[in-house]
Chain A
Amino acid sequence: MTVRKNQATLTADEKRRLVAALVELKRNGRYDAFVTTHNAFIMGDTDTGARTGHRSPSFLPWHRRFLIEFERALQSVDSSVALPYWDWTADRSPRSSLWAPDFLGGTGRSLDGRVLDGPFAASTGNWPLTVRVDGRTYLRRSLGGGGRDLPTRAEVDSVLAMSTYDMAPWNSASDGFRNHLEGWRGVNLHNRVHVWVGGQMATGVSPNDPVFWLHHAYVDKLWAEWQRRHPGSGYLPTGGTPDVVDLKEPMRPWNDVRPADLLDHRAYYTFDTD
C-alpha cells in the first residue's frame, strides 16, 4: 500500500529514489505528457463555461486522480516510491531541506530566475523544459520573490472550518471550502503557494517544477483533513449542474472516474498521519 509521507521526514535513500524516478519519467517522455494535460485544462477551464480541473468543485477530485496517475507512473519506474507532501505551513522558508541540492534544489538566480543546483537544474541536462509558454527551456524559481508569505497554519485552519464543500456559482466566485482552499477567494491557500514558488510554478505549465506534485499532495491531504472534520458534509453539487462535474458524473480526460469514486483516498493510498 502506498503511504504518502511528509517530505521533511524522507530519508536520503527515499529522496534519491524519488528523484531518480522523476528523471526517468522525464527521460522517457511520460513526464511531459502530464504537463501538457495540466496546461490544456488550465487554459480550458473557465468560470462561465465547462470547468473541470480548476475553478470548480472538481478541482479536488480532478487533482487527486491526476496525482494518482502520476504516482503510478513513478511506481512503474520504482515500486517503492510514493508522492511525498509539502506542508508549506511548517516548511515555509527557502532554507527548508525541501530546497536542498539533494532534493529539489533551491531558488533561481536573480538575473533570470534559473535554478542552479539540485537534480533539476538545467545544467544537469536531465530536466529540459519542452512544454512551455515562452522561449525559456530551463527550470526557474523565485522562492518568496513576490513578497507574500506562505499560508500559516491558522489560515489553513480557518479554511478547514468551512463546513460547506462548495457553493453556486461553482467557480472562482464561490464561497465555501473548495474555493477558499483553491485560493480565488479569501485568505488564499493553493494559488498563493504557486505564486510564492514563482517561475514555471506560477504559470499554466506549473507541473514542469517537481514541487507541483508535493504541493498538490498537501492540498489533497487538506481535503482529507476537511472530510475528517466534517463527516456530515459531502461533495457538491450532486446533480444536474451545467458545465460542472456533479458527484456521479464522469470526469475528463479519463471519463472512467467520477468524484464519487475519489472521495475516500484510502482506496488508493494512506498518509503517514492516517
Chain B
Amino acid sequence: MPPLTRRRALTAGAAVAATAGLPAPSASGHSREHGHSHGHTHDLDHDHDHDHGAPEAFDEVYLGRRIQGRPLAGGHHHGGGYGVFIDGVELHVMRNADGSWISVVSHYDPVPSPRAAARAAVVELRGAPLVTLT
C-alpha cells in the first residue's frame, strides 16, 4: 500500500480544489500514458481492454483527482492482478467474466475498463477520500 498522503486528511471540498503534484503510488517507472487532464465525462474510453490480457496502465487527473491503474502481482486483488488508485489510495476493483469492471464504490454497475471504473468512482466520491483497503 502507498503511504498515507496528506490528501486523505483533507476535507471533501479542499480535496476537489487541491489537485496536482501528488506522489504516485508506484515508486517510478511506468509512463504517464495519458497524463493530461480530462475535463469531459466520456465513459467510452479509447482504451477498452478485451478479454485477453490485462489492460494497460493509465495515469491522469480526472475532475481534479489523480487516477492511476497498473498491473499488480499477487496479493488480495481480484481485478485480474490490476490495481487502481485514487490520489494514491487503492480502490478495490474487480473484473467480470465478460471483461467489464466494477469497484467497491460502484459495485452493481459494470463499466468497460478499469479507467472507466476509476472515473465512475471519482464522480461517486464527490471529493471524499477513499478509505484504505484492509
Shortest beta-carbon distance from B126 to chain A in Å? 6
Chain B residues near A101 (CB-CB < 8 A) = none
Shortest beta-carbon distance from A184 to chain B in Å? 7
Q: How many A residues face the partner with a CB closer than 8 A?
A: 33
| Most central of B106, B107, B109, B125 by chain A CB within 10 Å | B107
Complex: how many Å from CA A171 to CA B96?
9
Complex: how many Å from CA A146 to CA B124?
11
Would you mind naming 25 contact pairs between A and B with Cβ atoms under 8 Å apart? A42-B104, A47-B96, A49-B78, A55-B96, A133-B131, A134-B125, A134-B128, A134-B130, A134-B131, A135-B128, A172-B96, A172-B97, A173-B98, A184-B110, A190-B108, A191-B108, A195-B109, A202-B105, A202-B106, A202-B107, A203-B107, A204-B92, A204-B105, A204-B107, A205-B104
A183 contacts partner chain B, Cβ-Cβ < 8 Å: yes
Residues of A near any B CB (own CB < 8 A): 39, 42-44, 46-49, 55, 112-113, 132-136, 146, 169, 171-173, 183-184, 190-192, 194-195, 202-206
Complex: how many Å from CA A192 to CA B126?
21
* Those 3 A-B pairs whose CB atoms lie nearest each other, nearest first: A173-B97, A191-B108, A194-B108
Q: Which of B78, B98, B124 contacts A172 (CB 8 A)?
A: B98
Chain B residues near A46 (CB-CB < 8 A) = 78, 94
Complex: how many Å from CA A113 to CA B12?
13
Chain B residues near A171 (CB-CB < 8 A) = 97
Contact B108 A195 (CB under 8 A): yes
Complex: how many Å from CA A46 to CA B94?
8
B129 contacts partner chain A, Cβ-Cβ < 8 Å: yes
Contact A203 B131 (CB under 8 A): no
Complex: how many Å from CA A110 to CA B96?
31
Chain A residues near B131 (CB-CB < 8 A) = 132-135
Interface residues in B82-134 (C-beta closer than 8 Å to A): 92, 94-98, 104-110, 124-126, 128-131
Chain B residues near A136 (CB-CB < 8 A) = 12, 128
Shortest beta-carbon distance from B105 to chain A in Å? 5
Complex: how many Å from CA A228 to CA B125?
42
Contact B108 A133 (CB under 8 A): no
Chain B residues near A192 (CB-CB < 8 A) = 108
